[in-house]
Amino acid sequence: MNAAAAVHGMSGETWKRHANPWSVWTRFAAIPAFELAVWSRQWLGWWCLAAVVAVVVWLWLNVRLFKPVAPISWAARGIYGEQLHVDGRFPAEHRRTLNWLIASGLAGFVLIAWGLIVLQVWPLTLGTVMLVLAQLWRIDRYGLLFQQHLRERAPEDTACGKQSDCR
C-alpha cells in the first residue's frame, strides 16, 4: 500500500483531491482503457505503448486534478479510510478482511494480465470483474472504518484535518 502511495506522491493535499468522487470513478474507468490499450497491440503493434503511457499518465494526474472534498460521499469516505490504512492508523481487527480483499484484487489482476498476454477474453473479463468488485468492497470497508474512526476521535483528528479544511 505504501509503495503505491509513494509512486503517486500522495501528500495530504493529494489525498483530499483523490477523495473527490470524480477521481475515484474515473480511475475505475481507466481499467478498461488500460486493457484496451494493451489489447490494441494486435492492431497497432508497438504504437499501443503510446496508449498505455497515456493511461498511466492519466492515473498519475488523476489524483491531482480534482478539487479537494470533505468526506461526505461514499467514495470520499472510502479514500479517507484508505489514507488511514496507508498511514498505519487502521484497526488491527480489520486487517484480515482487507488483506483478503487486496488478495482478491491481485488475483483479478493476474487474470487480467494472463488474458492480455494470451489475448483471451474470458480471463480478462473474469479478472476485471474480480478486481472491480474487490476494489468496490475495499472502498466500502474503508468508508465504514473511516466513519468508525470519526466516532472514536475528535472531529479535528480526521484524515482530512478539520472538516472546513476539506472544502
pLDDT digits (tens, 9 = 90+) for 26-57: 999 999 999 999 999 999 999 999 999 999 99
The secondary structure element, H or E, covering residue 109 is helix 95-118
Mean pLDDT of the 105-130 span: 97
The band of 157, judged by pLDDT with boundaries at 50, 70 and 90, is: low
Q: What is the DSSP letter of 154?
A: -
**Of 5-14, 46-55, 100-109, 113-122, minimum mean pLDDT range:** 5-14
The sign of the torsion formed by the CA atoms of 64, 70, 74, 77 equals positive
Domain count, the chain: 1
pTM of the model: 0.80
State yes or no: pLDDT of 161 exceeds 60. Answer: no
CB 156 within 8 A of CB 162: yes
| Count of positions (residues) in the chain | 167
Domain around 62: 2-166
Beta strand spans in 58-166 (E) = none
Residues 6+ apart with CB under 8 A from 123: 111, 112, 114, 115
